[in-house]
Amino acid sequence: MEGLTLSEAEQRYYCDLFSYCDTESTKKVASNGRVLELFRAAQLPNDVVMQIMELCGATRLGYFGRSQFYIALKLVAVAQSGLPLRVESLNTVKDLPLPRFVVSKNEQESRHTALYSSDADNPASYSGVIPPPPGRIQVKKGSVSHDAVQQRTSTDQQESTSPVVSPQQSPPTSPHTWRKHNRHPSGGNNERPLAGPGPFWAPFSEAQPGSSTASDPIWSGHSPPPHQENWVSFADTPPTSALLAMHPASVQDQTTVRTVASATTANEIRRQSSSYDDPWKITDEQRQYYVNQFKTIQPDLNGFIPGSAAKEFFTKSKLPILELSHIWELSDFDKDGALTLDEFCAAFHLVVARKNGYDLPEKLPESLMPKLIDLEDSAEAGEQTAEVGYASSPAEAPPSKSPSMPSLNQTWPELNQSSEQWETFSERSSSSQTLTQFDSNIAPADPDTAIVHPVPIRMTPSKIHMQEMELKRTGSDHANPTSPLLVKPADLPEENKMSSSVKYTAGNTVNGYSSSDSYTSDPEQIGSTVTRQRSHSGTSPDNTAPPPPPPRPHQSHSRSSSLDLNRSFSVTPGQQQAGVVAYPPAVPPRPQPSQGPGPHVHRPVDAEGLIAHTSTSPQQIPEQPNFADFSQFEAFAVSGVSKEDDDEIETHSESLQVEKSSDSASSLRVAKADGRVEDKAPASVPTSAGKGTTPLAPPPKPLRRRLKSEDELRPEAEEHTQKTGVIAAVLASQPSIPRSVGKDKKAIQASIRRNKETNTVLARLNSELQQQLKDVLEERISLEVQLEQLRPFSHL
Amino acid sequence: MAVCIAVIAKENYPLYIRSVPTENELKFHYTVHTSLDVVDEKISAMGKALVDQRELYLGLLYPTEDYKVYGYVTNSKVKFVMVVDSSNTALRDNEIRSMFRKLHNSYTDIMCNPFYNPGDRIHSRAFDNTVTSMMMQVC
């Protein structure tokens, strides 16, 4: 067993076979399944196989170590050559042909074994073994292929000329160059590497026939049949077989390194080639060609081609930049902006395919993927780390790659580089995970969820509300709160200013009625916003009360005016002057103490109230005798009150006159007013006699009337219309009153009473309207604020 | 899932913009354009903050009724703007961040391509695939 000497070819072959069988990449043990498969492929009788296994010691050991495997292979060769299986035959048999392994549908392996048996070089025998494939000349293959390989590997310098030409030529034309090179004989050494792995691959690729036929059209279409032999012979070989050919320098160096490399490459190539057949496989010649091209750019096969150099190189192919860009995306696996040998070959292959009219795939075909490191089983630990790095970022997880096998050691730094990148990615992802966790802690404070619940409508709520929500979730998003907070607080003062200005402007206008309608139409939300606004506006500079309501004429007509009124009353009967219109007609100040607070309570005014007034006015006449009572009443000090009442009534009426002058009076009201005027006119006369007496006239009557009016006026519906009616009536009555001349006291007193009542009613009406005005103004402000909020979004 | 994804160059012209096709795309274009102002505001607000991935992610630029706009800026002032449908299940912030990270990675992959001149419109299929994976699956 020991001391097994293998020729170089044998060694290579065996090494490749071993790596093929080394499914687990242990480089120590060949998997039994594969070995058995191999032995079956050797077409040896089972007992012979058993014998071989015994002899090599595998049965003893229970597994196929490398040495056992080699011995077994040698024994297979021995057996195939018909020699008896002896241990001694291992070393004694010279010129033993390489063991042949036949796979059922495979025709190539025999071809390739023919290659291997180039030593014997009896093509005829092999052609007999091999059913001649269409258009293939088996005989030539061996020699030609070998020559080609030879030339390829040896004539790097010569091929340096070809790169100048080659980029513009599709690879199918390259055989020309190669054939040129074929004419240059070189040492037979160089053919070994290719020959070794080449036939090795073939037996184990079930898909070879199909692939060969598939790949042939690609290339054969462009190469005349004589070239086919060159291409064809290697068209069947998996592209990565060229890998071994690619490293002639190293190949010639230590065998072990190369064998290891070739074994590992063989491994992957095995896997990859056996899995499918596609038109994207790179033939050996192509591969070699690419390698040579690579070398022209980057002498070190283990190095990178920088992106710019690659760009120049591929631009020479005259493909559109867009396609070149896509090819780059496909081929630059590790996305490092540089092309390794494999990447370069893949890119070159794609360029070639494109130039030959094949559409670029969406994804990099497997055959073009950098096959040095498989995802499933990475030969190197470094690759595994890289794979792990990739796994952390699955989105961009191309298979970790390293350049060609022999240069694995040199590529480790690159790998480490890229793995560092990947590690940084993983770090980032982990950091993001930490961020994720952090965020998840604050998840409940997700902005939208936080905002939603307080506000039924998301976008319509006021900016203030959103600001509140933003303030609540200060911890959640790092960036989010800042921006809205930055934005919102800036807007808040603006909004407040605007709101205040709005309020002021609104306050100055009397739009109570129109806005009140809109207010009622938008209940809660505006109310809510209004409330919020109020809360904020409470702190804002416009906290001040709304501007004073429209001038309250009755304020101007304070108590001091009572005297004037009285004076006017005394004067008006005789004057009928419109100038005195300003003052209520000669209504003697009537003591209407109860009416004092009354007016502020009983805003609602009924026309009925007026009617009551008017109806009672005739009653006042019989009450005239009460006028004397009035004086009595006045005597005990209701005069001031009465005066106030009068004043209020008068001021109310005046204010109403001023404010509501625009109101139109109905004929009915006018009639009533006339009635009242008439009442007032006579009342004014007696009042002229004595101030303050008449007011006292029928306090009970006004009381009653007031009570009545209270009852009537309690329901506050239709206030506005009623008030307007009252106001109109009063206003209508006002001008007529001065004209009345010579009204008796009772009428005056009655009119005074009525006026006071209207005063109270109007005062109440006024206060209520003021309140409504305030509300409406606030609502308007809120609406305007909302508008402001919406505006920035519209113009953003 | 995003409704519209845009890549804006440093000079604020679009390198890549893609929307869900069923929508009125012009509206998204306009939205993205208007969001640039907010992006600039945030960038200036950040000042010379140390470049960290956190700062790269700008977060919610502004919400509207229908959608939310998120922003992300790279160190070379290339901006990614993403418009997300609000009616969608509120996407977590992390998800948005991860989407931006993927976008960023795809973008760097494009930049590594020597055939890509920075400043050109992005025609990369790989980038398109990345973006498609993020877009809403609207039939």
pLDDT band at A713 (very low <50, low <70, confident <90, very high): very low
Find the helix or strand (DSSP H, E) in which A771 lies. Answer: helix A745-795
Most confident of the following: A174-183, A299-308, A587-596: A299-308
Confidence at A273, pLDDT banded by 50, 70, 90:
very low
* Dist. CA A388–CA A398, nearest whole Å: 11
Confidence grade of residue A776 (pLDDT, cut at 50, 70, 90): very high
At A655 the pLDDT is 46
Judged by average pLDDT, the poorest of A44-48, A253-257, A733-737 is A253-257
Place of tokens 């207010």: A519
Q: What is the pLDDT of residues A380-400, one digit of tens each?
A: 444 444 444 443 444 443 443
> Mean pLDDT over residues A695-722, rounded?
47
The beta-carbon neighbor of A459 closest among B53, B65, B94 is: B65
Query: Tens digits of per-residue pLDDT, A51-62?
Result: 777 777 666 666
Closest approach of A393 to chain B, Cα-based (Å)? 9
Instruction: Look at the alpha carbons of A284, A286, A287, A289 in this order and tell me if their dihedral is positive or negative.
Output: positive
Q: Is the pLDDT score of A82 beyond 70?
A: yes
DSSP labels for A96-142? PPPP----TT-SHHHHHHHHHGGGT--HHHHHHHSPPPTT--HHHII
Predicted local distance difference test score (pLDDT) of residue A545: 55
Higher pLDDT, A333 or A754: A754
Residue A707's Cβ-count burial label (10 Å; 0-12, 13-18, 19+) is: middle
Alpha-carbon A583 to chain mean position: 73
Q: Which residues pair with B68 in a beta bridge?
A: B63, B84
Under 8 Å between Cβ of A683 and A694:
yes
What is the percentage of chain A residues whose pLDDT exceeds 90? 4
Nearest CB partner across the interface for A432, out of B65, B98, B130? B98
The listed range with the strongest mean pLDDT (A270-284, A532-546, A634-648, B112-126) is B112-126
pLDDT on residue B76: 86
Q: How high is the mean pLDDT of chain B?
A: 81
Residues of chain B that touch chain A, judged by Cβ-Cβ distance less than 8 Å: 34-35, 37-38, 41-42, 45, 53-54, 57-65, 86, 90, 92-94, 97-98, 101-102, 105-106, 108-110, 112-116, 123-126, 130
Q: Is residue A99 over pLDDT 50?
A: yes
Q: What does the alpha-carbon distance between residue A422 and residue A770 come to, in Å, rounded to a whole number?
A: 73
Chain A interface, mutation test: which of B27, B65, B93, most A Cβ atoms within 10 Å? B93
pLDDT of residue A382: 40
- Residue B48's contacts (CB-CB under 8 Å, 6 or more residues apart) are none
Q: Among A157-161, A162-166, A439-443, A777-781, name the most confident range.
A: A777-781
User: SS3 for A16?
Assistant: helix
Helix (H, G, I), strand (E, B) or coil at A42: coil
Cα separation, A651 vs A646, in Å, equals 8
Beta strands at B67-73 and B57-63: parallel, antiparallel or unpaired = antiparallel
pLDDT tens digits for range B26-77: 888 888 889 999 888 887 776 655 555 457 788 888 888 778 889 988 888 8
Q: By percentage, how much of chain A surpasses pLDDT 70?
A: 24
Q: Flag whether residue A459 sits within 8 Å of chain B, measured between CB atoms.
A: yes
For position A59, what pLDDT does the model report? 63
Minimal CA separation from A337 to chain B, in Å = 5
Return the pLDDT at A610.
44
Does pLDDT of A259 surpass 80?
Answer: no
* H or E element at residue A539: helix A524-539
pLDDT level of residue A269 (50, 70, 90 thresholds): very low
* pLDDT tens track for A192-230: 444 444 444 434 444 444 444 444 444 444 444 444 443
**What helix, strand, coil percent values describe chain A, rounded to 5?**
70, 0, 25
pLDDT at A204: 42
Mind giving me the DSSP string for A634-679? IIIIIHHHHHHHHHHHHHHHHHHHHHGGGSPPPHHHHHHHHHHHHH
Distance separating alpha carbons of residues A416 and A22, to the nearest angstrom: 26
pLDDT at residue A49 in the model = 75
Pairwise CB contact (< 8 Å): A362 & B125: yes
Helix (H/G/I), strand (E/B), else coil: A391: helix
Which residue do the tokens 């703007």 mark?
Answer: B81
CB atoms within 10 A of CB A617: 26
Q: Would the CB atoms of A395 and B124 count as touching at under 8 Å?
A: no
Sign for the CA dihedral angle at A378, A380, A386, A389 comes to: positive
Q: Which residues share a beta bridge with A30?
A: A64
Six-digit token string for A457: 């409508």
The pLDDT value given to residue A94: 59
**A181 CB-contact burial (10 Å; exposed 0-12 / middle 13-18 / buried 19+):** buried
Query: Alpha helices, DSSP H only, in A660-744?
Result: 667-689, 700-713, 719-739
pLDDT for A312 equals 83
Q: Do A396 and B124 touch (CB under 8 A)?
A: no
Q: How far apart are CA A310 and CA A259, in angstroms?
A: 30
Residues 6+ apart with CB under 8 A from B125: A326, A329, A362
For residue range A114-149, list pLDDT tens digits in order: 444 444 444 444 334 444 444 444 344 444 444 444
State the best of A318, A323, A325 to mutate against chain B, taking most chain B CBs within 10 Å: A325
If one counts every other C-beta atom within 10 angstroms of the C-beta of residue A25, the result is 17
Cα A229 from Cα A127, distance rounded (Å) = 14
The pLDDT value given to residue A126? 39
Name every residue whose Cβ is closer than 8 Å to that of residue B40 and which is 6 or more positions away in sequence.
none
Judged by CB atoms closer than 8 Å, whether chains meet at A329 and B126 is answered as yes
pLDDT at A313: 83
Q: Is the pLDDT of residue A311 over 60?
A: yes
Write down the pLDDT at residue A74: 76
Q: Are A755 and A653 in contact (CB under 8 A)?
A: yes
Beta strand pairing call for B57-63 and A305-306: unpaired
pLDDT in tens, A653-686: 444 444 444 444 444 444 444 444 444 444 444 4
Q: Note the ipTM here.
A: 0.72
Q: What angle do CA A765, A770, A776 make, to 5 degrees?
A: 125
Question: From CA B66, how far away is CA B31, in angstroms rounded?
Answer: 11
Distance CA B23, CA B16 (A): 17
* pLDDT of res. A518: 42
Closest CB from A325, A458, A459 relative to B116: A325
Res A771 pLDDT > 90: yes
Indicate if the alpha-carbon torsion angle A126, A131, A137, A142 is positive or negative.
negative
Residue A366, token pair as written in the block: 């497997």
A443:B92 CB<8 A? yes
Backbone Cα Rg of chain B: 14
Cβ–Cβ gap A459/B93 under 8 Å? no
pLDDT at A494: 45
Do A562 and A610 touch, CB atoms closer than 8 A?
A: no
CB-based contacts of B34: which residues, under 8 Å, 6+ apart? A795, A796
Residue B123 host element (H or E): none
Determine if the pTM surpasses 0.95. Answer: no
How far is residue A172 CA from its own chain's centroid? 48
Residue A351 at interface with chain B, using a CB cutoff of 8 Å? no
**Would you state the pLDDT for residue A638?**
47
Determine the pLDDT at residue A527. 42
A591: DSSP letter: -
A463-479 pLDDT, tens digit per residue, is 555 555 555 554 444 44
Q: What is the pLDDT of residues A512-569, one digit of tens each?
A: 444 444 444 444 444 444 444 444 444 444 445 565 566 555 444 455 444 555 555 5
Q: Is A311 on the interface with B (CB under 8 A)?
A: yes
The per-residue pLDDT for A781 is 93
How much is the pLDDT for A185? 42
Q: Which residue type occupies A652?
A: H
Output B83 or A666, whichever has higher pLDDT: B83
Reply yes or no on whether the pLDDT at A489 is more than 80.
no
Split at pLDDT 50, 70, 90, the class of A780 is: very high
Higher pLDDT, A564 or B12: B12
Residues of chain B contacting residue A311, judged by C-beta atoms under 8 Å apart: 114-115
Identify the H or E element spanning A528: helix A524-539
CB A120 within 8 A of CB A95: yes
Q: Can you give the pLDDT at residue A559? A: 53
What pLDDT score was predicted for residue A338?
80
A479 to chain B, minimum CA–CA distance in Å? Answer: 6
What average pLDDT does the structure give for chain A?
Answer: 55
Give CA–CA dist A587/A751, Å, rounded.
6
* pLDDT at residue A462, rounded to an integer: 52
Cβ contacts of A452 on chain B, cutoff 8 Å: none
Alpha-carbon Rg for chain A, nearest whole angstrom, is 56
